[in-house]
Amino acid sequence: MQETQSKIEACTSLTQEHRQMEKLLEKLKQALAELNASHGLDAVKAVMDKIEPEMNTHFACEEQVLFPAVTPYHPMVLMEVEHEELIALRGELLTLLASGEQSSEKTFQLQEIGNRFISDMLDHIGREDAGIFPTCERALSDDEKEAVIAGMQEVRQQALQKPTPSITRPERTFQSYQLDLSSEPQRDILSTRIFDDTSIEAKQITVQAGKALAAHWTPKKALLICLRGEGIFTANEEEQSLVPGTIIRMSPQLRHSVSAKTQCDILLLLESV
């Protein structure tokens, strides 16, 4: 963390791009105001043809270079979400422009979405200028700032050779699992893997009444969650009662055991190392 005011500013080029974007947004606002049911599409398209590559390269500089550098000090998730929302609005606008036909209804839609895009872009720029960029300047060391500046220059050089693609995100999905909490286990201790991916492994462990999961350890961080029954968790010569709803966080290599007073069903979450 910087304690003295640095003479190096990592975000100068980004603020300069903001000023350029504001000029383009003003031109877009004028083009939308002059749009009607019979003409004006070409003027709107012409401005959007300039805005799209400017946005793509600017967002790439932030998300590929600046945000990763500053995230250890201040998370940038909100800014990334705003990028997604702005790209989605831009997509709606470009889709309408690509349809070709012109009508009063389409003119209204273009003006409504276009002006919302302008407003949201200006709000985003204002938040970055007033809050995010100063925060980055305070958080980064001179060496980190120089690395950010060099990284953004490389992104812009690449954009001169080949247009920067729009930012895309991995598909957001979910999966549902149903644990069996009704059947009687056929063994004293039954361990069933629910799933195992690159980030987390989940297991359902059932310990019959009067039985115990012998002392052991795992190289991974773990969460142990009691789903049903009663038992005793033992670690570091201390005992912790297990009842439905008990959650125990374990550090890697913690030697522990579980004994069951009644049949005990446990959900074990292991963080991948």
How many angstroms separate the CA atoms of 175 and 197, rounded?
12
The Cα 260–Cα 207 span in angstroms is: 6
User: Do residues 70 and 131 touch, judged by C-beta distance below 8 A?
Assistant: no
247 has pLDDT over 80:
yes
Surface-to-core class of residue 253, CB atoms within 10 Å of its CB (0-12 exposed, 13-18 middle, 19+ buried): exposed
Assigned CATH for 12-161: 1.20.120.520
Question: CB of 266 within 8 A of CB of 205?
Answer: yes
Q: What CATH number has the domain spanning 189-271?
A: 2.60.120.10
Structural domain boundaries in the chain: 12-161, 189-271
Give the tens place of pLDDT for each residue, 66-125: 999 999 999 999 999 999 999 999 999 999 999 877 788 999 999 999 999 999 999 999
Range with the largest mean pLDDT of 35-44, 187-196, 233-242, 264-273: 233-242
Contact 167, 63 (CB under 8 A): yes
Q: What digits encode the pLDDT tens for the residues 2-41?
A: 445 668 999 999 999 999 999 999 999 999 999 987 788 9
CA distances from 246 to 178, 197, 213, 228, 252 (A): 20, 25, 17, 10, 19
Question: Residues 145, 150, 154, 160: is their CA dihedral positive or negative?
Answer: positive
Q: Which helix (H) or strand (E) holds 31?
A: helix 12-33
φ/ψ bin of 39: left (φ > 0), alpha (ψ from -120 to 50), beta (otherwise): beta
User: Is there a contact between 220 and 252 (Cβ–Cβ < 8 Å)?
Assistant: yes
